[in-house]
Amino acid sequence: MSAAPVDLSVRLGALTLANPILLASGTCGYGVELAGLLDFAAIGGIVTKTVTLRPREGNPPPRIAETPSGMLNSIGLENVGIDTFLREKLPAAAALPTKIVVSVGGHAVPDYVELARRLDPEPGVAAIELNLSCPNVSGGLDLSLSRAGSAEVVGAVRRVTTKPLIAKLTPNVTAIGDIARGAEEGGADAVSLVNTFIGMAIDVERRTPKLRTVTGGLSGPAIRPLAVAKVYAAARAVRIPVIGIGGVSSAADVIEFLLAGATAVEVGTWNYVEPGAAGTLAAGVAAYLARHDFRSPADLRGALVLPAKE
């Protein structure tokens, strides 16, 4: 008798993805930039570059610097603004054979509310990710530094949209479980974490920072163990799904996040190394599940074998 087939689909509230692989915001543009490089049907979805109410030029260069096993960035949410996004970017993205999650960002709660209100009637938008955690813009972290803050912004947005809401959280806090609980209390369908860690690199010959903004967000494989620990803490604190982000470059990395309590993952910095790599990850996850007699990614949550207490 042959084994039952593996079902890779996952649920994030009302949002169902074909598999647990998403592309992280800021690393895949508005999606169409990867046409010809990525099999869009092989991933669960794309999280767009963060959109703001008005166009942003972003921070001045240099705003990217390579680091051991990672990179620092200080892009500063460069984007076309919501009007141009709705008119020019969303129609092309919505035509791709995958789910489109739109990331939105702002300086204050009313910004997020207005962006969600504008996106709510759009059928091409499968979900909204609230970027509460960008370390490279003024005020970008204020809304996710406390349980009350995250609850406030998510709750305000929840009142104006029926779209699934994902709250993207910063790791630059002492108790990420509390922040995740605030997002859950506000009505988030899921939380995604982590955004980048604040880091700094110095050109020792010039004795100057490698980034114009001095500090930036550290991402890539270097942060994965830190991100896995944050996901483990958040997953133990909330009942809603957790999306793991940080250094994913292989199917084994995906499995690690799932075992830590994640329902799905987002692939970020690795998109710059191998733009089509995310398209192969779901097959690797399926092979792992079949090899270990699991039927779905959900079976891995709670399957972490912890050391026995003495």
Contact by Cβ (8 Å): 229, 267? no
Catalytic one among 72, 102, 127, 134? 134
Concerning whether 134 is annotated as a catalytic residue, the answer is yes
Contact by Cβ (8 Å): 277, 39? no
Contact by Cβ (8 Å): 74, 213? yes
Give the total residue count for the chain: 310
E strands, the chain, in order: 10-12, 15-17, 21-23, 45-47, 64-67, 70-73, 99-104, 127-131, 165-168, 190-193, 197-200, 202-203, 208-209, 215-219, 242-245, 264-267
Spatial distance between the Cα atoms of 294 and 6, rounded to a whole number of angstroms: 7
**Closest to 29 in 3D by CA, of 115, 88, 69, 106:** 88
As annotated, the active-site residues are: 134
